[in-house]
Amino acid sequence: MNTRKVAVYRHEHFNAAHRLHQPEWSEDKNREIFGKCNNPSYHGHNYELIVKVTGVPDSLTGYVMDLKLLSDLIKETVLDRFDHKNLNLDTQEFKDLNPTAENICIVIYDLLRPHIPADKELQIRLYETPRNFVEYPA
Amino acid sequence: MNTRKVAVYRHEHFNAAHRLHQPEWSEDKNREIFGKCNNPSYHGHNYELIVKVTGVPDSLTGYVMDLKLLSDLIKETVLDRFDHKNLNLDTQEFKDLNPTAENICIVIYDLLRPHIPADKELQIRLYETPRNFVEYPA
Amino acid sequence: MNTRKVAVYRHEHFNAAHRLHQPEWSEDKNREIFGKCNNPSYHGHNYELIVKVTGVPDSLTGYVMDLKLLSDLIKETVLDRFDHKNLNLDTQEFKDLNPTAENICIVIYDLLRPHIPADKELQIRLYETPRNFVEYPA
Amino acid sequence: MNTRKVAVYRHEHFNAAHRLHQPEWSEDKNREIFGKCNNPSYHGHNYELIVKVTGVPDSLTGYVMDLKLLSDLIKETVLDRFDHKNLNLDTQEFKDLNPTAENICIVIYDLLRPHIPADKELQIRLYETPRNFVEYPA
Amino acid sequence: MNTRKVAVYRHEHFNAAHRLHQPEWSEDKNREIFGKCNNPSYHGHNYELIVKVTGVPDSLTGYVMDLKLLSDLIKETVLDRFDHKNLNLDTQEFKDLNPTAENICIVIYDLLRPHIPADKELQIRLYETPRNFVEYPA
Amino acid sequence: MNTRKVAVYRHEHFNAAHRLHQPEWSEDKNREIFGKCNNPSYHGHNYELIVKVTGVPDSLTGYVMDLKLLSDLIKETVLDRFDHKNLNLDTQEFKDLNPTAENICIVIYDLLRPHIPADKELQIRLYETPRNFVEYPA
């Protein structure tokens, strides 16, 4: 079975506060474009994160990647950084980057990519709410 | 981050009655092929609808598409047309088209496509029940 | 462990069409009170049904009630009657009774109660949609 | 069917930021007791709210309470007050009250109770995350 | 707010193998009563466990019980004992007790009860599958 | 609409026991690599299975494939083989193959592929737990 590609997925979650804001714009324009998401005191979400890794399962373990190790990696690389944080105030990544779901998803990809073996593909899905979610790469 | 494609998803729902029926066939053949779904008095579903739009996030907003606007668009274009309706009797779209999940999914795609910017891709997933669902384009 | 009461639950589902309508009222009053749910051509739902039976587990089986038998009972008594039906047109129960979630829930209770041993309690929960649901007895 | 009590439920949601903090305690004690939830910059949640109203269905409508009206009432009384807000900074209710799930649940009960008919019972369930939730009255 | 009772819930899960079998009965009777669940080589489940603790929130913390501590308690008392185990072979509790969902639920209650403050009530809900679940005390 | 490809999905489930073990390795190495999943007495899961079939809907039925027939096919080909079984002991397929989620997913694909029309594509998604799942082909 050694040349068949399988995708494996691990589901994790974190809770964070954020605010959408574009500093190049006036307060009025920010309120017009981002609506309630522009609230200066922040609001928050339970972010649900699904990490997908694609590759050929190892012939001895039968694993594409040990999901326990993938879970540990996500914890160290993503959750310890963002869980119970204010994305705008407490993180380096969103100091100058608007923390939309799209941007958070790309940032998480960039944080994890160096830790995933080069012969494996990586994709990130992020639920901001059960009704709004994003995926990168598309 | 301006050339990286992200998919954004919005989840909506509507309730409708329908009946599967092929007018070119006899009643017996209809009952044989469509079974309980052929009931002449109709039955119904809570349709769960997931709309996926793929593109490069705008550099100023960080949005592929404002999901509030996408939600409004789905409401005006799809939900106001099908919610709490009998698909066979109350809609133009299924007057001569069997309202299978496959056909409803393609119809929703065709209704939304003209309203989505041409440089963005569109995909529709429709749950007829939690155990039966379809996706177009595949 | 023979005197401790445990509740057991079985989750089933059926799909049906219905329409809310009070024949004692004018068409206008019906439309005002029931809104979209009054649509004369019907609409429909995936009803999710949870049946709860409470009693002391049998000392030999360890069961309050065999959930396979409870599932068969629900199928024969409720699902075969309502699944893929138009509640207003195809059923005896809702010929003169408005098929609101409340009334459907009480009807299902009355259908099942004679088949549940007298020393066990019965409770019905019915989801009309994931966001609207009812329970009897309360 | 006029004397049988039925419970009806409506599921809504809101997103908010908060921080757990007891001003009578030192910073160290706050960090010890509330851990990550004490983060001074706030974090946030998608709160899922289930409102239960119990009573005898009206003989003409078949409703305990019109769930569309209950949904509107929750929106005006609870969601417009808390959605996309910082509970600690933006609300009157949590100026001097620690916004734990328990306290938010009691506050929502107190906000809704005056608007629910006196002959009906009210109960609130609040999910802070899919794994942590509370209910009042218990 | 100090005399109002609130229920708090914590959701955990574990995976285990089991087999239903009554040693007082013949093999035939066991197969007749327990069907596929009697398979001598065992089968298994992802058990979802919801622990409910009811009491008056502490006036300083606003907590009925710190859910992080409740989660730790469940882990030490229940999950470390049953997770990734064969309930029939690897545990003391089900050596002479048929591991039906009802019995597992009562056993978990008895394991946790001594660790929950005496002025608080405890209730256990256990999902054997998404469609079959039990609750104790009822 | 006859040349547009649609994907249809059917969701089924089965319960099974298994154990991860590589006979070429020592007991110590097995325990190191597979951890709790190596428990010699087995543990188990509620496997959730989603089968995806892609093709052009038939112009008369409006179906890519009748999901009732697909459900029957999955039952005969997969569920009757694995449901309430010990994958390591009771099945031919995992006698010499480690029953990781990846391998189970490929085996299910190979079992179903001959029964799906050649002009249709097949993909399998398998949830071992709500947080760990796999997909083949990727």
pLDDT at position C100: 98
Interchain CB distance below 8 Å, E62 and D20: yes
Question: Phi, psi (5° rounding) for residue F109?
Answer: -60, -45
Would you place residue F138 in the very low, low, confident or very high pLDDT band (cuts 50, 70, 90)? very high
Fold of E6-136: Tetrahydropterin Synthase; Chain A (3.30.479)
Q: Is E45 a catalytic residue?
A: no
pLDDT at position F1: 47
Q: Is C105 a catalytic residue?
A: no
- C34/B contact by beta carbon, under 8 A: no
pLDDT (tens digit per residue) in A83-132: 999 999 999 999 999 999 999 999 999 999 999 999 999 999 999 999 99
pLDDT (tens digit per residue) in D37-81: 999 999 999 999 999 999 999 999 999 999 999 999 999 999 999
pLDDT at position C1: 47
For residue B41, give the nearest of B19, B12, B73, B74 by alpha carbon.
B19
Number of Cα atoms under 13 Å in the Cβ half of residue D112: 30
- C12/B contact by beta carbon, under 8 A: no
Cβ-Cβ contacts under 8 Å between A and B: the total is 65
Query: Which chains reach chain C with 3 or more Cβ–Cβ distances below 8 angstroms?
Result: B, D, E
Contacts F132 to A, Cβ<8 Å: 8-11, 67
Interchain CB distance below 8 Å, E57 and D103: yes
| End-to-end Cα separation, chain C, in angstroms | 28
The H or E element that residue D135 is part of is: strand D132-136
Angle, CA of A138, A109 and B118, to the nearest 5°: 25
The secondary structure of chain F as a DSSP string is: -TT--EEEEEEEEEEEEE----TTS-HHHHHHHHGGGG-TT-EEEEEEEEEEEEEPPPTTT--SS-HHHHHHHHIIIIIHHHTTEEHHHH-STTSSS---HHHHHHHHHHHHGGGS-TTSEEEEEEEEETTEEEEE--
pLDDT digit string (tens) for chain C, length 138 residues: 468 999 999 999 999 999 999 999 999 999 999 999 999 999 999 999 999 999 999 999 999 999 999 999 999 999 999 999 999 999 999 999 999 999 999 999 999 999 999 999 999 999 999 999 999 999
Would you place residue E34 in the very low, low, confident or very high pLDDT band (cuts 50, 70, 90)? very high
Question: How many CB atoms sit inside 10 A of residue B135's CB?
Answer: 21
Q: Are E124 and E49 in contact (CB under 8 A)?
A: yes
Distance (Å, whole) CA B6 – CA A134? 7
The interface predicted TM-score of the complex, written ipTM, equals 0.96
- F138/A contact by beta carbon, under 8 A: yes
pLDDT at position D66: 97
Interchain CB distance below 8 Å, A102 and B6: yes
Chains D and B touch (3+ CB pairs under 8 A): no
Indicate whether this model's pTM tops 0.95.
Answer: yes
Share of chain B above pLDDT 70, in %: 99
CA distance, residue A60 to nearest chain F CA (Å): 7
| Domain-wise residue ranges, chain B | 6-136
Share of chain F above pLDDT 90, in %: 98
Kindly state the average pLDDT of the residues A16-23.
97
pLDDT at position E7: 98
On the question of a cis peptide bond just before residue C99, with omega within 30 degrees of 0, the verdict is: no
Contacts C83 to B, Cβ<8 Å: 36, 43
Q: How many residues does chain D have?
A: 138
CA distance, residue C129 to nearest chain B CA (Å): 7
- E106/F contact by beta carbon, under 8 A: no
R_g over Cα of chain F: 17
Catalytic one of C37, C45, C102, C115: C37
Q: Residue B4 burial by CB count (10 A; 0-12/13-18/19+): exposed, middle or buried?
A: middle
Match 């706050």 to its residue by tokens: D30
Name the closest residue on chain A to residue D84, using Cα atoms. A43
pLDDT at position F21: 96
CA distance, residue C108 to nearest chain E CA (Å): 18
Distance (Å, whole) CA C50 – CA C74? 10
Task: Provide the mean pLDDT of chain B.
Answer: 97
For residue F130, give the nearest of D130, A6, A134, A11 by alpha carbon.
A11
Question: Phi, psi (5° rounding) for residue E25?
Answer: -105, 160
CA distance, residue B59 to nearest chain F CA (Å): 31
* Three-class secondary structure of residue D101 per DSSP: helix
Distance (Å, whole) CA E74 – CA C64? 25
Interchain CB distance below 8 Å, B1 and A103: yes
- C46/B contact by beta carbon, under 8 A: yes
- C37/B contact by beta carbon, under 8 A: yes
The H or E element that residue A44 is part of is: strand A43-55
Contacts A126 to D, Cβ<8 Å: none
CB-nearest to B132 from F1, F57, F67 is F67
Interchain CB distance below 8 Å, F102 and A62: yes
Best residue in F2, F3, F5, F8 for a mutation probing chain B (most B CBs within 10 Å): F8
Would you place residue D1 in the very low, low, confident or very high pLDDT band (cuts 50, 70, 90)? very low
